[in-house]
Structure 1
Amino acid sequence: MTIAETSQQKPQNWVPILEQPLFAARKLKIVCAGAGYSGLMLAHKIQHALKCEDEIELVIHEKNDKVGGTWYENKYAGAACDVPAHIYTFMFEPNPDWSSFYVGAKEILGYITRTTNKYNLDKHVQFESRITKVAWDDDAGKWDITTSKKDGSQSVEQADIFVDGSGLLNKWNYPDIKGLSDFKGHLVHTVSWDENHSYAGERVAVIGNGSSAIQIVPQIAKEASYLVNLLRNPTWISSGYAAHLTKTGENFQYTEEEKERFRNDPEYFHEYRHRIEHEFNNFFYALINGTPQQLAAPEAFTEIMRKRLNYDEELCSKLIPDWKVGCRRLTPGDGYLEALTEPHVDVEFTGIDHITADGLVLKDGREIKLDSIICATGFDVSYKPKWAHSGRNGANLDKLWADHPEAYLSTCAPEMPNYFIVNGPNCPIGHGSLLSVMKWTIDYILDWAHKIAREDIKSVTVNQRALKDYNEYTQEFLKRTVWTSGCVSWYKRNGRVTSMYAGSILHYKDLLATIRGEDFNIEYRSSNSFRFMGNGLTQIEVDGGDLASYV
């Protein structure tokens, strides 16, 4: 090879000029799992807030036949939200017509459905379409996503970005109790509720004392001739969130005059919602060890529980916890403790040994005859995906998250390029307004989509240093909170807090506000990371716009 030939060789990062203006965006395809609140927020942001459907092709796969997610699936007796209704809304669609301060699942689903229809948010939703497998194609820089329809047919599509908006409280199973399948009476899990079954005059067992059980028990107690609530551990039953903003400390119905003012006085309505949100977010201080709010909470909630239990000392000794308030998710539970004082209602901590054809046997040998068993035993909250999920170099998310699920800012997973989660591990889901958190997460995801599209990026993957540093700092902060105080809680997995964020939701909001590119391994679509500079012109110049707009 001659010197002349050597000098003519192009460097490895040489690329031809890209004949387009600076920051010209390529069209991306985003596939999202789930058409609950988060998936519909994503649709609204793309269709209406950013108006960027020409830049982003959105597909949402929803396994059910309608939108609504958890509010479509949970139809059990008493199903309701413990968050004040006026802050449990899409930020772009406040609702002046809520019937009461806290509302039930049916009313929430109606609101979600109306909002979806108003803004055409199901425009890109494929219903009865279940994601069964996702796999990263490193050569193409895309996700291969396999879905199955109700009729058994399957299809595969590719996406530049995959968003998991399926929710944490979604995957459920019956509890692992010996003999459960032998029961010949009515057996139901709260998520597979039979709205046509009547419990009138029946002998009923409710297993569990989480949110669903606490809502179900007072409803079924009104019908059943006998009800037993089987528990493993006591739990704090609190006043309602922001209850001091209610008229009597309890749920109440809005008058037609109040709703009319909400409709016709936007400033007043905004201030009312603003005040509830402020007070709701203020509860975070009660979850930090040693704060005045945290120290005062046990005494206040103990008195609430004692009063609701009619000062029955035996029930009080069994049902009032000795661990810190907030270690498990607080549940207001109007009517629950009162129901447990009824003469036809029993509370059992003994534990179930096995189920029989016509009832159950406790660990001490006592047998309880039953007509119905209601499993209010919650969900699989392991964060492991609901589908086969493989990322870069075949990394399996199910295995990566088998023991200690670790995410970055609760949104990005290790070895998973262009993959984002809404309400992932260590997300602020135990305090503050969750719908606000979802909204900020969607904003963060679309900020990344904007960067990927405009800067000629093939993939972004959180790097191991950032992942480990973030999670180590998170766990250290969490030692300051009640969540590490020793209770049994779905907030923890293998002794490690996996479902709580290391700070307030305002802290989370500000942290998400900036893309920290230094925390990611970024791969580009060419060998030169500055190919996005294009042909030396801006879009304004190409469009013949104002060339002195900066003056």
Structure 2
Amino acid sequence: MPSNESFSHSSPPTDTPANWVSILEQPLFTPRKLRLVCIGAGFSGLILAHKIKHELKMDDMIDLQIYEKNPEIGGTWFENRYPGAACDVPAHVYVFPFEPNPNWSSFYVHGPEIWQYMKDTAVKWGLEKFVSFNSRVNETVWDDEVGKWKIKVDYSGNTISDECDVLVNASGFLNKWSWPTIEGLEDFKGKRLHTAAWDESYDWTGKRVAIIGNGSSAIQLLPEIQRTAKEVVNYIRNPTWIATNYLQEFAENGKFVYTEEKKKELRENPEMLFEMRKKLEHGFNQFFHSMIDGTPAQKAMDQTYRKKMEDALGGNPELIQRLVPEFNVGCRRLTPGDGYLDALHEKNVRVELTPISRITETGIATENGPEDYDLIVCATGFDVSFRPSWNLVGRNGVKLSDAWKVEPKGYFGMCAADMPNYFIYAGPNSPVAHGVLMGSMDAMTLYILKWCRKIATEDIKSITVKPEVVDDLSVWSQEFLKRTVWAGECRSWYKNSNTKGNITALHAGSVIHYREMLHDLRGEDFDIKYRSRNEFRFLGNGFTQRDANGDDLAYYLKR
């Protein structure tokens, strides 16, 4: 191939067209280096780092920086340290796609073991080098003139500035916890804790404890507190379905603890481990069939779970009336809770369905009167509005927190209108309640990096999903979601903590449906702006990298 010097540089013609550009003296699809800033070093942020560095080897086109507000990786598994904190899906499907773990101690594992696995994986693959710890992003503002995000970061008390071409929100959808809005909460003179901000030094032995809430964290926490507390009262607004252990038929001989012999067998037989994971993932990904209201699978699940709960409650009519819901199984997130149901039989545990009137200096008051407590635990969940925790300002000064104030609307949970070059992990209407989440995160990462490759190699300044596309997708999704049990009348974070209304959290389809939708980029859904006035400038000097490298130029022939 002749050198670039043998070509004369093009100069503008006398009657220059408005879209005239000079020729880029480089082969077709030559990438420019993009700076990608990712907010959060939990599972999704680390999957992104691994794909860029190891799996797809995109170092030549992506300069990655991860900002993590905590002093360690791990996200929710670093922050949530309440007693009993555990993953509510089988451990062997809750792994990095690139790092299966034959050493899990049990079928379900607790938070500290998950965090240690994440830490070991990050160290093994050298992923922490991309992370700036103790770095809280406070502001990201899109500069349309230069096509970059301008970023303000609080780094250990000092404000630093940064900028990037692509911004990725990997902060998690259950990350922003808050105190419940109960009158008098600040007046309580005893110990007050939130499950997402646990004080590990506190000893509740012999204490009277109130637990407010009956979601996943309360269900996991109560059995741990009950063992040594003097009394535990669980205040709940609505009953919820307590699930049996998912896919327990795959547990080794019905046992939930892996023996050293079993772990050794899995270490020495990667194919056996793979087949186990494949069966578990297949079974978990089938779960969506039971979420379609009125189907045989859904009706059978309702009957099965109702009987199991009634049996677990010992046939106690009062407890059954109080705790077994009328709405369908799955309307709220299911949580395995055998230990919770068992604990309710204990003499030092009581369920209180009477609404809380206020918090007093010494405890909790209902219409039945006040009760005194040493410890009040708020297991009341997170802000599930999907609004970012920092000031995110996109095109034309649009603030995402304002745009999503009433209802968050996204593009397959990954993009937002008026937010150029911005991607979200598990944003609005993502498959976070059915199927294997890690598999979906893997698909999300591939989707982000396909766009990064296109932006880097096609001279693109910005891509922004069109508002009318977001609206079309939302209308279609809400119509489909009427078919599901999630549309039932139950208070759920799937519906932004409402009883009725649009389902803002979940994808309208199976996880495989979601994965296949993300496989290809639908450029027609986006407003694409280029770095020059001619979108074909990336065609370059008429040659390809194959030409330039002297590669096989008949590669397309097949025998």
- TM-score bin (small chain): over 0.9
- Asked if residue 393 in structure 1 is aligned to residue 396 in structure 2, the reply is yes
Alignment correspondent of 1:102: 108
Q: Which moved more, 1:538-547 or 1:404-413?
A: 538-547
Distance 1:88 1:81 in 2: 8
- Asked if residue 161 in structure 1 is aligned to residue 166 in structure 2, the reply is yes
Alignment correspondent of 2:442: 439
- Asked if residue 217 in structure 1 is aligned to residue 222 in structure 2, the reply is yes
How far residue 189 of structure 1 moved from its aligned partner, in angstroms, is 0.4
Alignment correspondent of 1:382: 385
Match of 1:72 among 66, 78, 81: 78
How far residue 546 of structure 1 moved from its aligned partner, in angstroms, is 2.8
- Asked if residue 366 in structure 1 is aligned to residue 369 in structure 2, the reply is yes
1:323-338 paired onto structure 2 within 5 Å: 323-338=327-342
Alignment correspondent of 2:66: 60
Alignment correspondent of 2:95: 89
Distance 2:474 2:371 in 1: 46
Q: Which moved more, 1:238-247 or 1:200-209?
A: 238-247
Alignment correspondent of 2:476: 473
Distance 1:479 1:342 in 2: 40
Amino acid corresponding to residue 226 of structure 1 in structure 2: E
How far residue 365 of structure 1 moved from its aligned partner, in angstroms, is 4.0
Distance 1:357 1:147 in 2: 39
Amino acid corresponding to residue 337 of structure 1 in structure 2: L
How far residue 262 of structure 1 moved from its aligned partner, in angstroms, is 0.8
Which whole-Å deviations, capped at 9, do the CAs of 1:380-415 have from their partners, x for residues lacking one? 000001101110000110111011100011100010
Match of 2:413 among 406, 410, 422: 410
* Contact kept in structure 1, 2:480 and 2:508, CA below 8 Å: yes
How far residue 313 of structure 1 moved from its aligned partner, in angstroms, is 1.0
How far residue 194 of structure 1 moved from its aligned partner, in angstroms, is 1.1
**Partner secondary structure for residue 191 of structure 1:** coil
Match of 1:177 among 172, 179, 182: 182
Q: Which moved more, 1:471-480 or 1:260-269?
A: 260-269
How far residue 543 of structure 1 moved from its aligned partner, in angstroms, is 2.1
Could you state the TM-score of these two structures normalised by the residue count of structure 2? Answer: 0.96
Alignment correspondent of 1:297: 301
**Partner secondary structure for residue 129 of structure 2:** coil
Distance 2:376 2:253 in 1: 35
Alignment correspondent of 1:492: 495
How far residue 204 of structure 1 moved from its aligned partner, in angstroms, is 0.2
Which whole-Å deviations, capped at 9, do the CAs of 1:195-220 have from their partners, x for residues lacking one? 11111100000000000000000110
**Partner secondary structure for residue 168 of structure 2:** strand
Alignment correspondent of 2:3: none
Distance 2:77 2:331 in 1: 25
Alignment correspondent of 1:117: 123
Q: Which runs of 5+ in 2 are unaligned?
A: 1-11
Alignment correspondent of 1:306: 310
Alignment correspondent of 1:524: 530
Which whole-Å deviations, capped at 9, do the CAs of 1:45-99 have from their partners, x for residues lacking one? 0010111212110000000000000001011000000110011000100000000
Amino acid corresponding to residue 510 of structure 2 in structure 1: S
- Asked if residue 30 in structure 1 is aligned to residue 36 in structure 2, the reply is yes
1:450-469 paired onto structure 2 within 5 Å: 450-469=453-472
How far residue 340 of structure 1 moved from its aligned partner, in angstroms, is 1.2
Alignment correspondent of 1:3: none
Match of 1:350 among 341, 346, 354: 354
Alignment correspondent of 2:256: 252
How far residue 7 of structure 1 moved from its aligned partner, in angstroms, is 8.4
Distance 1:269 1:63 in 2: 35
**Partner secondary structure for residue 335 of structure 2:** coil
* Contact kept in structure 1, 2:252 and 2:258, CA below 8 Å: no
Alignment correspondent of 1:11: 17
Number of residue-to-residue matches in the alignment: 543
How far residue 244 of structure 1 moved from its aligned partner, in angstroms, is 2.2
Could you state the TM-score of these two structures normalised by the residue count of structure 1? Answer: 0.97
How far residue 104 of structure 1 moved from its aligned partner, in angstroms, is 0.4
- Asked if residue 198 in structure 1 is aligned to residue 203 in structure 2, the reply is yes
Distance 2:180 2:241 in 1: 23
Amino acid corresponding to residue 36 of structure 2 in structure 1: I
Q: Which runs of 5+ in 1 are unaligned?
A: 1-5
Distance 1:245 1:254 in 2: 12
* Contact kept in structure 2, 1:310 and 1:338, CA below 8 Å: no
* Contact kept in structure 2, 1:190 and 1:376, CA below 8 Å: yes
Q: Percent of counterpart pairs with the same letter?
A: 52
* Contact kept in structure 1, 2:207 and 2:231, CA below 8 Å: yes
Q: Which moved more, 1:199-208 or 1:288-297?
A: 288-297
How far residue 341 of structure 1 moved from its aligned partner, in angstroms, is 1.6
**Partner secondary structure for residue 496 of structure 1:** coil
* Contact kept in structure 2, 1:180 and 1:354, CA below 8 Å: yes
**Partner secondary structure for residue 337 of structure 1:** helix
Which whole-Å deviations, capped at 9, do the CAs of 1:94-153 have from their partners, x for residues lacking one? 000000000000100010000000001111100000000010000000101111022x21
* Contact kept in structure 2, 1:462 and 1:520, CA below 8 Å: yes
